A and B are shown apart, each in its own frame.
Chain A
Amino acid sequence: MTTSTRGNSLARARLASAWLLALFAAGILVVAAFYKSGDPALFAEQITAHQVTPASWSNWLAFFFIAAEFILGAALIAFVWPRLSFALTILMMLGFIGVTAWAWHKGAIRDCGCFGRLIERGPREVIVEDAVVIAASLAGMWLTRGFQTRVWRQRLFALLLLPALALIAFGTVLPTDALIVGAGPGTKLGGLTVENVPVSIEEGRVLVALVGPDCPPCEEQLPELKRVAAERIVPTVVGVYAGKASEALVWRLRNQPNFPLGNAPERVLRQYYRRLPGAFLLEDGVVRKAWWGRLPAVEEVRRAAGGN
């Protein structure tokens, strides 16, 4: 009797430990998938940058990994087929480690955007993190030996898949730019370097407008920005073109902005938007207000700048 009770307690403790480990691994997977689902195009670019698979595969791989992470995360949270879930997690992490190490060795990557722009990590940190998830998953596999999945857990898993599918389908249009991009109000835009402008965006109050190629709204909404510059609603307006300096000059000649137009390589500027155009009102380099997917109207800038 006593032995049986103790055995039950131990089994419960073992399962509880395994579930905590599952939640840990699931947390990593779901958060990563959430950020990737908000900007799968960026994730696809990051896959391309690793130079392991052909660039034409990147979009498909991006959606595959987003879906796989969500599904594995949901399975681990619901604790269905835990040994299989842990095993698949280990396989995925081993794959990530291999790809990261390969790209690192080739010098193809310097940082990893697996958590969007929220956490900037180098390949070393990514490998360590994945190794920790592998260790947790191995322990989880050992602790869940002989575990039988109950039906209610399968239903919970099915239920958890619904928001995951919704995020996969609609993640790009959800108004989560500030979260995904990680440049909401109060954020210091320290890493944004605008080349070829005679002003610093880190001093004073500056409206930074992001424009780029193949962006009809950038040109359609430009007149409002010109008014902002002409009426000096903020002391400095700076345009940043996502591309080469030569392309920026062509854009300038076509659209004739009345403010300086610099440029930044698209791979760099891409960290600051999900879609163009966009704008930040900065105060000494800190985001005071952000406009995502559009340029601000005069009155909006006036309000944002005036509310000091």
Chain B
Amino acid sequence: MRLGERKEGPGPETGLSERNRGPSRRVCTSERAIVPEFTDAIRHSRAMVNSSHCSSTRGAGRPVARAALLAGALLLLGSAPAVAASGSTAPAPAATPAASGEPAWTENPGLILRLHHPQAPETETPAVPADDEYGEVFDSSDYQAMLLLPARSACAYVLEISSLKARAYARDLVVDAEGGLHVPAPENSTEAGTARADADGRLRLRHDGVEIFVEPAPPLIGFLTREELEARLPVYARRTIVYRPDPKMVALLRNEREKIEILAFFGSWCSDCKELLPALFATLDAAANPAFQVSCIGVDEDMKEPAELLSSYQVGATPTFLVLSDGIELGRISGEATRTVEADLVAILTQGSGGR
């Protein structure tokens, strides 16, 4: 399993990874979370800036400052062992699946991880509740355990399905510099309590003051910025990074001069959207043409909400990308791409400009 957003190249990631080839026994507690959070926040914010997507750099910057202040304070208070334990000197690399028979982890596309930090600062992105952080859920190869991987927090958790007992690992031990997932031996973890299963289909775990929820991803409905979407569903960011659009098509898109608006109707529950929308994002990233603007519109499973937008644009399937110029539809990609997203987009623009 690779996490694409970790392929940002050298810099802090490589450094972190080298440091992490490390302690044979590192554990994750709230105190020890400080420095990983700090380093991870740097890595996160840098990734955001480099790739020009994901949630606002403003939002990412605050945790950096906060974590730096906290780290400094704790160091002054004598928490150095914890800092060392969580991040720096370290022997033995984490076991790889091939080497240890450790189970491979598969992304569970239907569940999201939500961490409720009671004292987190407010964000300015309305789609992301102020105190919540999101992450991904992975299943073990035998589907008897879940790996809960927050987007930023210092801890990752492994939850046994049969007992609902959780163990906490230092996140940077679980995710390597190239995005591989490796869950170390249990002695590198701490007990993180037992989750409770709600009757309405939600797992709830409390660890070090953080409420951790594993729940089915609720459909995202209405307008969302790309940043909001990627913050809520990191899979979009991951797949955007790994998609390689056709350079010829990208070159053609780069030359577009007219202002083009793309309304991307998608379902957060829709598997095809997780292929096509990242392809669109990656194409536009590669074209780096400010003439293109994308607005994402989440649609519910019954294709009934948002009713006004669905009916006014006559959208009946997801994904549907409407390509507009001056509010006039030039064409649309609906359901699947005829060839590729970038080729279809070029075709629409070519036909559209012919007709203009």
Where the two chains meet, the residues of A that have a C-beta atom closer than 8 Å to any C-beta of B are 193, 195-198, 230, 244-250, 252-253, 256-263, 265
A196–B200 contact, CB under 8 A? no
B281 at the interface (CB under 8 A from A): no
B4 at the interface (CB under 8 A from A): no
Chain B proximity of A104: nearest CB distance (Å): 14
A262–B110 contact, CB under 8 A? yes
Instruction: Specify which chain A residues have a CB less than 8 angstroms from the CB of B224 in the assembled complex.
Output: none
When C-beta atoms are compared, the residue in chain B nearest to A252 turns out to be B161
When C-beta atoms are compared, the residue in chain A nearest to B311 turns out to be A107
Measured as residues with beta carbon below 8 angstroms from the partner, the interface class of chain B is: 20 to 34
Q: Contacts A195-B269, A196-B109, A252-B161 given; indicate if A260 touches B199 (C-beta within 8 A).
A: no
Q: Contacts A195-B269, A257-B143, A258-B143 given; indicate if A246 touches B109 (C-beta within 8 A).
A: no
Cβ < 8 Å to A, chain B residues 125-150: 139, 142-144
CA distance A257 to B200 in the complex (A): 19
B69 at the interface (CB under 8 A from A): no
Instruction: Specify which chain A residues have a CB less than 8 angstroms from the CB of B285 in the assembled complex.
Output: none
When C-beta atoms are compared, the residue in chain A nearest to B161 turns out to be A256
Which of B107, B144, B215, B271 contacts A256 (CB under 8 A)?
A: B144
Instruction: Specify which chain B residues have a CB less than 8 angstroms from the CB of A256 in the assembled complex.
Output: 143-144, 161-162
Most buried by B among A193, A230, A245: A245
CA distance A250 to B106 in the complex (A): 20
When C-beta atoms are compared, the residue in chain A nearest to B216 turns out to be A245
A246–B142 contact, CB under 8 A? no
Most buried by A among B143, B215, B269: B143
CA distance A253 to B200 in the complex (A): 12
Q: Contacts A246-B216, A250-B197, A253-B161 given; indicate if A258 touches B108 (C-beta within 8 A).
A: no
In addition to A253-B203, A256-B143, A259-B143, 8 A-B residue pairs with Cβ atoms within 8 Å of each other are A195-B110, A249-B110, A249-B202, A253-B197, A256-B161, A257-B143, A258-B144, A262-B110
A195–B142 contact, CB under 8 A? no
B201 at the interface (CB under 8 A from A): yes
Q: What are 11 contact pairs spanning A and B, CB under 8 A?
A: A195-B109, A195-B110, A196-B111, A245-B201, A245-B216, A246-B200, A252-B161, A253-B164, A257-B143, A258-B142, A260-B108
B139–A260 contact, CB under 8 A? yes
Chain B proximity of A257: nearest CB distance (Å): 6
Chain A proximity of B274: nearest CB distance (Å): 11
Instruction: Specify which chain B residues have a CB less than 8 angstroms from the CB of A195 in the assembled complex.
Output: 109-110, 269-271
Chain A proximity of B157: nearest CB distance (Å): 16
CA distance A256 to B139 in the complex (A): 12
CA distance A246 to B199 in the complex (A): 9
Which of B164, B270, B301 contacts A265 (CB under 8 A)?
A: B301
Instruction: Specify which chain A residues have a CB less than 8 angstroms from the CB of B242 in the assembled complex.
Output: none
Q: Contacts A253-B161, A256-B161 given; indicate if A198 touches B107 (C-beta within 8 A).
A: yes
Instruction: Specify which chain A residues have a CB less than 8 angstroms from the CB of B110 in the assembled complex.
Output: 195-197, 245, 248-249, 262-263
Cβ < 8 Å to A, chain B residues 93-113: 106-111
When C-beta atoms are compared, the residue in chain B nearest to A246 turns out to be B201
Where the two chains meet, the residues of B that have a C-beta atom closer than 8 Å to any C-beta of A are 106-111, 139, 142-144, 161-162, 164, 197, 199-203, 214-217, 269-271, 301
B269–A260 contact, CB under 8 A? no
When C-beta atoms are compared, the residue in chain B nearest to A259 turns out to be B143
Instruction: Specify which chain B residues have a CB less than 8 angstroms from the CB of A263 in the assembled complex.
Output: 110
A249–B143 contact, CB under 8 A? no
Instruction: Specify which chain A residues have a CB less than 8 angstroms from the CB of B269 in the assembled complex.
Output: 195-196, 245
B217–A245 contact, CB under 8 A? yes
CA distance A252 to B144 in the complex (A): 10
Instruction: Specify which chain A residues have a CB less than 8 angstroms from the CB of B107 in the assembled complex.
Output: 198
B161–A249 contact, CB under 8 A? no
Chain B proximity of A42: nearest CB distance (Å): 19
B108–A196 contact, CB under 8 A? yes
Chain B proximity of A51: nearest CB distance (Å): 13
Q: Contacts A193-B271, A250-B201, A259-B143 given; indicate if A198 touches B161 (C-beta within 8 A).
A: no
- The 7 A-B residue pairs with the shortest CB-CB distance in the complex, in nearest-first order: A196-B110, A246-B201, A245-B216, A249-B201, A246-B216, A250-B201, A198-B106
Chain B proximity of A197: nearest CB distance (Å): 7
Which of B144, B216, B270 contacts A249 (CB under 8 A)?
A: B216
Instruction: Specify which chain A residues have a CB less than 8 angstroms from the CB of B271 in the assembled complex.
Output: 193, 195-196
Chain A proximity of B351: nearest CB distance (Å): 28
CA distance A262 to B139 in the complex (A): 13
Instruction: Specify which chain A residues have a CB less than 8 angstroms from the CB of B143 in the assembled complex.
Output: 252, 256-261
CA distance A265 to B199 in the complex (A): 19
Q: Contacts A195-B271, A196-B109 given; indicate if A246 touches B202 (C-beta within 8 A).
A: yes
A197–B162 contact, CB under 8 A? no
Instruction: Specify which chain B residues have a CB less than 8 angstroms from the CB of A248 in the assembled complex.
Output: 110, 201, 216
B200–A197 contact, CB under 8 A? no
CA distance A257 to B144 in the complex (A): 8
Instruction: Specify which chain B residues have a CB less than 8 angstroms from the CB of A260 in the assembled complex.
Output: 106, 108, 139, 143
CA distance A193 to B336 in the complex (A): 14
B111–A249 contact, CB under 8 A? yes
Q: Contacts A198-B109, A260-B143 given; indicate if A244 touches B162 (C-beta within 8 A).
A: no
B199–A250 contact, CB under 8 A? yes
When C-beta atoms are compared, the residue in chain B nearest to A251 turns out to be B201
CA distance A249 to B162 in the complex (A): 13
CA distance A208 to B108 in the complex (A): 17
CA distance A247 to B199 in the complex (A): 9
CA distance A197 to B161 in the complex (A): 17
CA distance A197 to B144 in the complex (A): 15
CA distance A262 to B217 in the complex (A): 13
